[in-house]
Amino acid sequence: MAITIEIDHAKTRAKAAAAAGQPVVPQAVKGPIRRIKWGILLLTLSIYYVTPFIRWDRGPNAPDQAVLLDFANGRLYAFFVEIWPQDLYLVTGLLVLASTILILANALAGRLWCGFACPQTVWTDLFLLVERLIEGDRRQRLKNIGAPLGPKRAARMVAKHAAWLLISLATGGTLIFYFTDAPGLVRALATGDVSASALTWIVVFAGTTYGLAGFAREQVCTFMCPWPRLQGAIWDPEAYTVNYRDYRGEQRTSAKKAAELRLQGKPAGDCVDCGQCVAVCPIGIDIREGPNFACINCGLCVDACDGVMLKLGRQRGLIDYESWKNIERGRRKEAPVNRPVRPKTVGLAAACFALAGAIVVAFAARTNATLSVQHDRDPVAVRLSDGSVRNAYTVKLLNKSSRAHLYTLSVSGLDARMAIIGNESLAPIEVAPEGSEAVRVTLTTTASRNADVTFTAHDESCTTVLSATDRFVER
């Protein structure tokens, strides 16, 4: 049976809340999933704030910051990895690999990334924690909406927004640390000797964090992020997503009424319609209404429902991580079937391993130098007075290492006389550390014909041989 992910009730609920002027105010909840989310929050924030200050020795005249996006010099550093503009295919490969892993995770457990490790979720959780500590939990914050602004409430609002702004400034400042020397920028900020450009970007990123985590929140996850819009195409009914076991929960009734009905031999569901699953949801949806594209699979409603079931002495799992296929099997009173290993997940996992292997091989095959050749376009060829034909090229040598290298240039594939403009003796070409050298080369031959020519550069200090092929054109 085909399943359509419901979006109408998410939109209706969002519009109704907006019309009433009430934002989604999630309630705090305790439970194993909430503890996992706190652990991931601490881990991800620690990595984010600490990483720019980790040092990594790369030798003289090289930055010692472990992770650095040095766009000014065209370098990306990540511990022992150094990416040049010529190596951006590796970055592209990593982005494709990350996308494939995300799709694999979606096939296994839906929007698991969104619910646990997405930056929007992490910083929203942090902002909510600050809000609860200062203004109270959901009930108190709902009372404050539309209430008169007294001195006590005003002081709490000022304290909350001040804390949010401090977190936002720390977030924006840390992001800038990834693009420049972190300790140096800290000293510059402390002394006030910081560039206007750095301050501008800190303010921009701080404002973005303040707006998205403090105010937009569920709107980002529901309407601004493209990922939920893709769920209709990649949603998998066998993935372990948060679902409501309606075959067990319906018909909803109070605990007292359920006990009376069961004594009379009549059916009664376990759901007491307490609304806790909705109250704790950071998106503000009711998971009991069916699969929803806005659900981020955070599992907080699972903790809330399990807590209620525990108090009532009923079995946990009324709301749980369960596949939609098993929900349908439960309705038919069939045993659940768990299939995490299936053709789709095996294929995606194989694709991930293949991509990772290709990236490793490509990275291992990189050299510390490159040779490129560009043929002159105007004119492509020149016929000299003695009848010979000359082609001209620009040969560029790039040295990625931290020391100078000498390269001897030669050509093969055509019986032609090579000349280097400004270097009549064909002396070795010196290329500075992490530098490049471009030379003009001409090939002249009397036996003119169209042919492929190979330029070769031999490194004088080691066995490295660079080559590039171009075309000799008779015109």
The pTM of this model reads 0.85
Residue 251: per-residue pLDDT? 87
What tokens appear for 217 in the block?
Answer: 């929140």
Residues 6+ apart with CB under 8 A from 338: 323, 326
- 368-411 pLDDT per residue, tens: 889 999 999 888 999 998 889 999 999 999 988 878 889 999 99
Residue 43: per-residue pLDDT? 97
- 210-244 pLDDT per residue, tens: 999 999 998 998 888 888 888 778 889 999 999 99
pLDDT confidence bin for 1, thresholds 50/70/90: very low
Task: Report domain extents, the chain.
Answer: 23-234, 241-335, 369-472
In this structure, of 85-89, 104-108, 176-180, 357-361, the range with the lowest mean pLDDT score is 85-89
Separation CA 294–CA 191 (nearest Å)? 46
Helices 182-191 and 151-177: angle between axes, nearest 10 degrees? 130
Q: Is pLDDT of 14 > 50?
A: no
Residue 6: per-residue pLDDT? 52
- 97-137 pLDDT per residue, tens: 999 999 999 999 999 999 999 999 999 999 999 999 999 99
Average pLDDT over the chain, rounded to whole? 89
- 59-104 pLDDT per residue, tens: 777 889 999 998 888 889 999 888 888 888 999 999 999 999 999 9
Residue 364: per-residue pLDDT? 87
- Architecture of 369-472 per CATH? Sandwich (2.60)
Residue 173: per-residue pLDDT? 93
Q: Is the peptide bond before 374 cis (omega within 30 degrees of 0)?
A: no
Separation CA 239–CA 247 (nearest Å)? 19
